[in-house]
Structure 1
Amino acid sequence: MIGLLAAAALAAAAPASEPTPQPLTIGETVTLEALGEARAVNIVLPLGYAEEPDKRWPVVYLLDGGAAQDLLMGAGLQRWNTIWGRSQNAILVGIETKNRQRELLPPTRDAAEQARWPTAGEAAQFRAWIAGTVKPMIEARYRHDGTAFLVGESAAGHFVVETWATAPGLFTGYAAISPSLQWDGEALSRLVAGEASRPPIYLSLADEGGATESGMMRLLTGLPPAQPYCFSDRRKELRHATSLHGLLPEALQYLLPTGVDYLDEYGFTLRCERRGGAE
C-alpha cells in the first residue's frame, strides 16, 4: 500500500509534457536578383490584413530591410507607432542591400571616396530595379491604397533624397534620416534647388557635422517655397548611430498621420521645422 502511495505521489509531482515550440512568423519573403546578386524582399503585413479583405493599406519601403539589417527594428517601431495611434498602419517592405555604397550611392568624383569604395555608384540601376520589379510585384500581390513611402538612413538616406530629387513621382512621400549628403562633394544638395515642388519629405540631422551638415543646410536653403518638408534638427541629442531608431517613429508620424488629437498629451509632438504637407 505504501509503495502504491509513493508511486502516485511521484506521478503527481512529475512535470507535464513540454509544449512543442511553434515557428513565430512575422511576414513573408521573396528572393529576387538585382545587380547580379540575390537579395530578399521582406513583407510584413499589418495586423488585421487577413481579417479585413476589403481594406487597402499604405506601403512603406524600408531600405537596408534585410532580416539581419533594419527589418525587425523597422517593423517593431511601426507596430509600436500604430498601437499609440501615432501613424497609420501600413504594409512594410524591407529591401535587403548587399553592398550599400554600390547600391545606394551615385558615382563620385572625389578621389578619396573612389579609393575607399571602388564599387560605389550604381544607385540609378538599383532605383530602376525597385521601380520596375519590386514595386510592381508588391502592388500586384498585396492590397495597397495607392500610396507608397520610401525610408532610409545614412547612405540609404542619400538614396532617398536622390530619388525624391530625380524621380519624385515614384513615391508619395520620403524620409531621409541622417542622409550622407557629404558624398561627391555635397553634389546632391546642389541638385534640388529650383522652383519645382515635390512630394513631402522628412529630413533629419544628428551629430555628423562637417560636409554632411553643410550639405543638409544647403539642401534646406535651396528648397522651393512651396515644398512640404519636416526637418528634425537633433545635432545636440543624437549620434549618427542612434538616429534611425530614434527618429523613424517621428518620420512615420509625419508621413502617415492619423489625425488623432491626443498625441501632444503623450509626448508625440513633431519636433521638427515644418512647411505644408502632412500634419
Structure 2
Amino acid sequence: MSRAGLAFACLAMALTGPVSAQSPAPQPLTIGETVTLEALGQSRAVNIVLPPDYANDPDKRWPVVYQLDGALGQDLMMGAGLMRWGALWGRSADAIVVGIETKDRQRELLPPTGDAAEQKRYPTAGESTAFRAWLAGTVKPMVEARYRTDGRAFLVGESAAGYFVVETWAEMPRLFTGYAAISPSLQWDFEALSRRAFGEGQRPPLYLSLADEGGATETGMMRLLGALSPSQPYCFSDRRTELHHATALHGLLPEALQYLLPTKADWLEEYGMVLRCEQRGGAR
C-alpha cells in the first residue's frame, strides 16, 4: 500500500472506529398493538394504532376508524400515516386506527356473483356476509372493551373493500357511524349492488369516489348515486380525469377522513385541503 493509501486508511479508521464503538444500540420502534383472531377459518391480525395523545389524558375518548386490508404488509402504514398527517394539519380529527387484515379479499369482501366470468376468476368469492358478522360480533366488541372509544366508528376501504363498505352501509347501516368507499368495485355481479332500492330512510354519512376505472365500475357508481335520497348525507368526489385506480386510496383517504371526521379549522382551503364533493346530499 502506498504511503498516501496507508494514511487514508488510518484516517478512516480513526473517524469511524470510535463512532461505531460509542453508537447506542437501536431500540424497537413501536407504532401500535396487534391481536390475532380467526375469521372464516383463517387466523389474521387486527392492528391497533393509538393517537399519540392517547396515554396523556386517561379521561379522553376517541373515535375509531376501521381500515380494511389493514395488515402491516397491506395498507396499515399508509392509513395510520395519513390519519396522523391529517390530524397534525387539523384537516380531520384524530382517531384510533384499527387495521383488519384480509387473506382472500374476494372471499371476504364480496358477496356471491351470478357472473360466470367472475366465478371462474375468483372461485372462492362470496362470503362477505360472514366476514361482516365477524366484524360486528368479534372485532368491534373487542376494540370497544379494550380501548377508550367515544361511540363513533367509521369503516373505510378501497376497491373490493370499497364494495364491502357500500354493502355494509346498505345492509347494516347502523353498524358504523360513517362510511368511506374509495373506487368501490361496483361492477361486481352485473352491478347488482347499485340496482338495489335503498329506501327513503336516512343512513349514516357515505363518502364515495371514482377514479379512471370506467366501464361497469363507472356505470354502477352513477346508478348508485342516482338511487340515493336527496336527504341522505353523502359526498361524491369525481376524480375520473385525475386519478388511477392504483392512486385512488392514498390520494383520497385524507379527503374521506376530512368528510367523516371534520374539524373547525378555518385555514384548510388556504393550504389546498379542500373537501371536493361534485355531488352531495343531506345537511352535512
Query: TM-score when scaled to structure 2?
Result: 0.92
Gaps of 5+ in 2: 1-13
**1:275 pairs with one of 245, 266, 281:** 281
The alpha-carbon distance between structure 1 residues 36 and 270, as it changes in their structure 2 partners (threshold 3 A), is: same
Match of 1:266 in 2: 271
Match of 1:6 in 2: none
**2:245 pairs with one of 237, 240, 262:** 240
Q: Is the 1:102–1:121 Cα contact (8 Å) retained in structure 2?
A: yes
Separation in structure 1 between the aligned mates of residue 280 and residue 79 of structure 2, nearest angstrom? 24
RMSD: 1.4
Match of 1:110 in 2: 115
**2:143 pairs with one of 124, 138, 142:** 138
Displacement of 1:275 in angstroms is 2.2
- SS of 1:60's equivalent in the other structure is strand
Q: Is the 2:170–2:198 Cα contact (8 Å) retained in structure 1?
A: no
| Large movers: runs of 4+ above 2 Å | 13-16, 273-278
Separation in structure 2 between the aligned mates of residue 277 and residue 78 of structure 1, nearest angstrom? 25
Percent same amino acid among aligned pairs? 75
**1:80 pairs with one of 72, 82, 85:** 85
Separation in structure 1 between the aligned mates of residue 197 and residue 270 of structure 2, nearest angstrom? 36
Displacement of 1:84 in angstroms is 0.2
The alpha-carbon distance between structure 1 residues 277 and 170, as it changes in their structure 2 partners (threshold 3 A), is: farther
Aligned positions of 1:24-103 closer than 5 A: 24-103=29-108
Q: Is the 1:200–1:277 Cα contact (8 Å) retained in structure 2?
A: no
Displacement of 1:276 in angstroms is 2.7
- SS of 1:14's equivalent in the other structure is helix
Separation in structure 1 between the aligned mates of residue 196 and residue 282 of structure 2, nearest angstrom? 21
Over residues 202-222 of structure 1, what are the superposed CA-to-partner deviations in whole Å (9 max), with x where a residue is unaligned?
A: 000000000000000000000
Match of 1:205 in 2: 210
Query: Is residue 191 of structure 2 the alignment partner of residue 176 of structure 1?
Result: no
Displacement of 1:195 in angstroms is 1.3
Separation in structure 1 between the aligned mates of residue 171 and residue 276 of structure 2, nearest angstrom? 28
Q: Is the 1:192–1:219 Cα contact (8 Å) retained in structure 2?
A: no
Match of 2:132 in 1: 127
Query: Is residue 18 of structure 2 the alignment partner of residue 14 of structure 1?
Result: yes
Displacement of 1:192 in angstroms is 4.2
Over residues 224-254 of structure 1, what are the superposed CA-to-partner deviations in whole Å (9 max), with x where a residue is unaligned?
A: 1210000000000000000000000000000
Q: Which amino acid aligns with 2:57?
A: E
Displacement of 1:118 in angstroms is 0.5
Deviates more, 1:191-200 or 1:123-132: 191-200
Separation in structure 2 between the aligned mates of residue 57 and residue 227 of structure 1, nearest angstrom? 25
- SS of 2:22's equivalent in the other structure is coil
